[in-house]
A and B are shown apart, each in its own frame.
Chain A
Amino acid sequence: MHSKKYLVLVGALMLLALALSACTAVAPAAAPAAAPAAETEAAAAEASAEKPTVALVYGVKGDGFYVTMEAGARAKAEEMGVDFFADGPAQFQPTLQMPILDAVIAQQPDAICIAATDKAALIEPMRKAYDAGIHMISVDTFIGETAGDYTGEDLSWMLSYVGSDNTQGGETACQAIVESMGGKGKFYIQTTQPGVSTVEQRVEGCKKAIEAAGGAVELIGMDYNDDNSSKAAEQTAAVLAANPDLGGIFGTNLFSARGAAQAVANAGLTGAVKVAAFDAPEDAIVALKDNVVDIVIAQHPYEMGQKCIEFSMAAIAGDTASIDKRWPTGYTIITRDNVDSEEAQQSIYKAE
């Protein structure tokens, strides 16, 4: 009936696709996202074939941290001959993650590594997977009230918690800023949204570091930027107007730090106000080299992905003795002094 109109639409969509493929500088990045669907089918077809299957359920789609984790797991899976697939929700929310976990369980993988988006809400669905005979490993985030300690009776069915301690990360970051401020001055925190556990732990850790400086460092406030650099810049500019003598800013993720640093640059105070960024995608490293930010705190998501596969394989082989109940992945503090070192370069999040 409307065939002509639909033709127009289809044509327009095809043009869109064409234009995109023509101007894609990072086209390979499209592969991981497109892959799960295809591999899911493959996994289903090969279920209980000789190759073991491991799934990764990450916290949110399109986040550099999880993209890197997936890349680490995928590389390790290829190396060890494992069928691997990954999926996760569009937002960091348990209500969106649960159906995805269920769909993954339905494909009966041998092991699941999961970055649970809620400490409590995910316990039952994960337990269900364990009861179905699937080995369960926490990556990045943990479940339960024991701060990631799975040795207790309640959570002993969990194989391991592989991840870095965000409280410790926040503390490390802010210690580094306080040090670069000469141990005194006014301090400000830019963070994403209330209610995100990992980010709140970073803030908590940061406050510890500020307290440790005694009264010399004063925390003048913290604002929420909705994970948006523009809003972070707007708020930081206001703080700089009210406190021209500000000494340091902690951005609890890349967008927070980028916005804060941009307001600092706008005020002509680059270098005078120290800015630390949590998480280390390539963009953070470029900002570091351009003197936009002064300190970058790198987690090790690639290592988390690798460990997830290693531990899964050990469990599948029945070798639970070689699995640590807690595998802390630690941090790398990157500054302009060490950015070219091998350790720093290895910590940068990369998609491939």
Chain B
Amino acid sequence: MHKEQSPSHSRTYWLDILSRFWAWLFLFAMILIFWIGNPAFMSLFNLQSILANMAILTIIAIGQTYVIISGGIDLSAGWIMGMVAVIAASTMNRFPEGTPIWIPLIGGFIVGLIAALIAGLVNGTLVARMNVPPFIATLGMAGIARGVGFLLSGGMPVPIYVKGLGFLGNGYLFYYHPNAGWSFLAQPPGLVQADLRNLTGILPFVVIVMIVVLVIAHLLLSRTRFGLHIYALGGNKEAASRAGIPVVRRTVSIYLLSATFAAIAGVVYNTRFTNGAANAGDALLLDTVAAVVIGGASLFGGAGTVIGTLIGALIISVLANGLVIMRVNPFWQFIAVGVVIIVAVLIDQAREKLTQ
């Protein structure tokens, strides 16, 4: 059905190329417009903030990519992320003061991950074994995760008392100051308030985390048999089954993976905001679906890539940043984002028709 697998040098060759790279073109056009609109857009600080701020969205969207390629959708990812953020935060607070920071960090992640995996297992079991439509199964799980997150947090964000955690989420690998010079892993000591405005951070930690996750997810999808199976599932489930692919097991693993990425995003949220909020991922969920679809995945399954999702997330984040930098009226911002998503899906559909 989908062209990705069979590139041909026919007359539609250029259309095929365009359809593959339109998202890149779109992204660069947007960057150009915002750059001209306000040169501050291109500052090192701003470009790094865009990348750091899109980390959480991108990580959830990667899980969503796997699910959507397999022909499903995971509406629970946002609330699972919030539930993990709450559980991990409560867990981290249980470690005695003075414990090296990585112990509560990993401990919180593991406990949160267990809860997420249980949710993912239920999602996968409902979809694969009991033929519940993914939309409904994960919508139900979204409600459960939401309730659990609020119950455990008592409705308020859980503050995390672990010292230094905020630096992991907000710090940079290097710092440069015109007077104090370079420093590694910490701000140069002795800067007073007036100096702070001239301090430049380089390479936020969360961007490094995002890149590592992206590379692993990309390799898993594009270089392994497991990845191939996911495309096969989304293309045609019966054919996949006849070809000897363990459909049920694979489907369950896909939802487990999505929950795992949501859990990673939850802990990244912990480090960035030094709290755990049950509704941390709620507003991001539809953005993750949009990122995946803008990135060239089909909501009917069978097509999509991790790199595509990265571009989709970049487009959404650059748009959100650029519109604010150019001081576009917030109500117009809603419209602009909506138009971009619709245009992206239209191009996606036109692409399928043209390349058939």
A interface list, Cβ under 8 A from B: 2, 5, 8-9, 12-13, 15-16, 19-20, 23-30, 32-33, 61-64, 66-67, 194, 220-231, 233-235, 237-242, 244-245, 254-255, 258-259, 262-263, 265-272, 281-283, 285-287, 290, 292, 349, 351
Query: Hey, which chain A residues are within 8 Å of B330, CB to CB?
Result: 194, 222-224
**Which chain B residues border A286 with CB–CB below 8 Å?**
159, 161, 274-275
Give chain A residues whose Cβ lies under 8 Å from the Cβ of B57. Answer: 230
- The answer, yes or no, to whether B225 is at the interface (CB within 8 Å) is no
- Give chain A nearest CB distance to B162 CB in angstroms: 11
Question: B90–A228 contact, CB under 8 A?
Answer: no
What residues of A have a CB within 8 angstroms of the CB of B295 in the complex?
A: none
Cα-based distance from A267 to B41 in the complex (angstroms)? 14
Contact yes or no, A8 B125, CB < 8 A: yes
A67, B41: Cβ atoms closer than 8 Å: no
**B residues in contact with A271, CB < 8 Å:** 193, 196
Determine which of B122, B125, B130, B153 lies in contact with A26 in the assembled complex, contact meaning CB atoms within 8 Å.
B153
Contact digits for B69-108, partner A, Cβ 8 Å, 1 yes 0 no: 0000000000000000001001101100000000000000
CB neighbours of B46 from chain A (8 A): 237-238, 241
| B197 CB-CB contact with A under 8 Å | yes
- Contacting residue for B196 out of A26, A230, A269, A283, CB 8 A: A269
- CB-CB under 8 A from B282, the residues of chain A are 226-228
- Name which residue of chain A comes closest to B279, CB basis: A227
Set of chain B residues within 8 Å of A24, measured between Cβ atoms:
90, 152
Smallest CB gap from B54: residue in A: A234
Closest B residue to A188 using CB positions: B324
Interface residues of B in 156-210 (CB under 8 A from A): 156-159, 161, 166, 169-170, 175, 187, 193-194, 196-197, 199, 201, 204
Taking a contact as CB atoms under 8 Å apart, the answer to whether A25 and B94 are in contact is: yes
The smallest beta-carbon distance between A259 and chain B, in angstroms, is: 8
- Can you name 18 A-B pairs with beta carbons within 8 Å? A5-B130, A8-B125, A13-B122, A16-B148, A20-B87, A23-B90, A24-B152, A64-B154, A194-B331, A225-B283, A235-B321, A237-B49, A237-B53, A238-B49, A240-B45, A241-B321, A283-B157, A286-B274
**Top 4 A-B pairs, shortest CB-CB distance:** A29-B154, A25-B90, A64-B156, A241-B46
Chain B contacts of A23 at CB under 8 A?
87, 90-91, 111, 114-115
**Would B49 and A263 count as touching, CB distance under 8 A?**
yes
The one of A16, A240, A258, A283 that contacts B115, using a Cβ cutoff of 8 Å: A16
Please report the C-alpha to C-alpha distance between residue A15 and residue B114 in the assembled complex, in whole angstroms.
10
Contact of B272 among A19, A20, A28, A262 (CB under 8 A): A262
- Shortest Cβ distance from residue B336 to the other chain A in the assembled complex, whole angstroms: 13
Most chain B CB atoms below 10 A, which of A12, A32, A242:
A242
Assess the B40–A241 pair: CB atoms within 8 A: yes
Question: Is there an interface contact between B275 and A16, defined as CB atoms closer than 8 Å?
Answer: no
Asked whether, in the complex, the Cβ of B321 is within 8 Å of the Cβ of A12, the reply is no
Q: Which of A30, A221, A266, A283 contacts B49 (CB 8 A)?
A: A266
Does B66 reach chain A (CB closer than 8 Å)?
no
Q: Tell me the interface secondary structure of chain A in the complex.
A: helix
In the complex, A63 Cα to B275 Cα: how many Å?
15
Task: For the complex formed, measure the closest distance between the CB of B169 and the CB atoms of chain A, giving whole angstroms.
Answer: 8
**B130 A9 Cβ-Cβ under 8 A:** yes
Determine whether the beta carbon of A262 is less than 8 Å from that of B280: no
Q: Which residues of A contact B40 (CB under 8 A)?
A: 241-242, 244
Chain B 102-139 residues near chain A, CB threshold 8 A: 111, 114-115, 118-119, 121-122, 125-126, 129-130
Query: Which of A225, A255, A268, A351 has the most CB atoms of chain B within a 10 A radius of its CB?
Result: A268
What separation, in Å, do the CA atoms of A272 and B218 have in the docked complex?
41
Report if B297 contacts A (CB, 8 A): no
Cβ-defined partner of A231 (8 Å) among B38, B159, B320: B320
Interface pair A268/B321, CB less than 8 Å apart? no
* A18 CB, min distance to chain B CBs, angstroms: 9
Kindly state whether residue B232 has any CB partner on chain A within 8 Å. Answer: no
CA distance A224 to B50 in the complex (A): 17
Given the interface contacts A61-B150, A268-B201, does A19 sit within 8 Å of B114 by beta carbon? yes
Given A272-B196, A286-B159, A233 and B53 contact (CB-CB distance below 8 Å) = yes
Contact B125 A9 (CB under 8 A): yes
Q: Given A30-B151, A229-B277, A238-B49, are A67 and B324 also a contact pair (CB < 8 Å)?
A: no
CB distance from B250 to the nearest CB of A (A): 17
- Residue of B155, B279, B320 most packed against chain A (CB within 10 A): B155
Structural contact, A223 and B324, CB atoms closer than 8 A: yes
Residues of A within 8 A of B261 (CB): none
A351 nearest CB across to chain B (Å) = 4
Residues in A with CB closer than 8 Å to B49 are 234, 237-238, 240-241, 263, 266-267
Interface centre among A13, A234, A272 (most CB of B within 10 A): A234
- Give every chain B residue within 8 A of A64 (Cβ-Cβ): 154-157
Given contacts A23-B91, A67-B155, contact A230 B130 (CB under 8 A): no
Are B56's CB and A230's CB within 8 A?
Answer: yes
- Taking the nearest CB of chain B, how far is it from the CB of A188, in angstroms? 10
Query: Do residues B129 and A230 form an inter-chain contact, with CB atoms below 8 A?
Result: no
Chain B: minimal CB distance from A237 (Å) = 4
Q: Would B193 and A272 count as touching, CB distance under 8 A?
A: yes
Bound CA–CA A233/B169 (angstroms): 12
Contact B166 A5 (CB under 8 A): no
The residues of B that contact A237 with a CB separation of less than 8 Å are: 46, 49-50, 52-53, 321
Q: How far is the CA of A32 from the CA of B155 in the complex (A)?
A: 11
Whether B227 sits at the interface, judged by CB under 8 Å, is: no
Quote the shortest CB–CB distance from A218 to chain B (angstroms): 12
Q: Which one of B119, B201, B283 has the highest number of Cβ atoms from chain A below 10 Å of its Cβ?
A: B283
A227 touches B150 (CB 8 A): no
Of chain B, the residue at the smallest CB distance from A349 is: B156
Determine whether B325 belongs to the interface, using a CB cutoff of 8 Å to chain A.
yes
Closest Cβ of chain B: how far from A110's Cβ, in Å?
27
- Inside 8 A of A241's CB, which chain B residues have their CB? 40-41, 43, 45-46, 49, 321, 325
Q: Decide yes or no whether B273 CB sits under 8 A from chain A.
A: yes
Report the nearest A residue to B130, measured CB to CB.
A5
Determine if B118 and A19 form an interchain contact, defined as CB atoms under 8 angstroms apart: yes
Residue of B122, B130, B155 near A29 (CB, 8 A) is B155
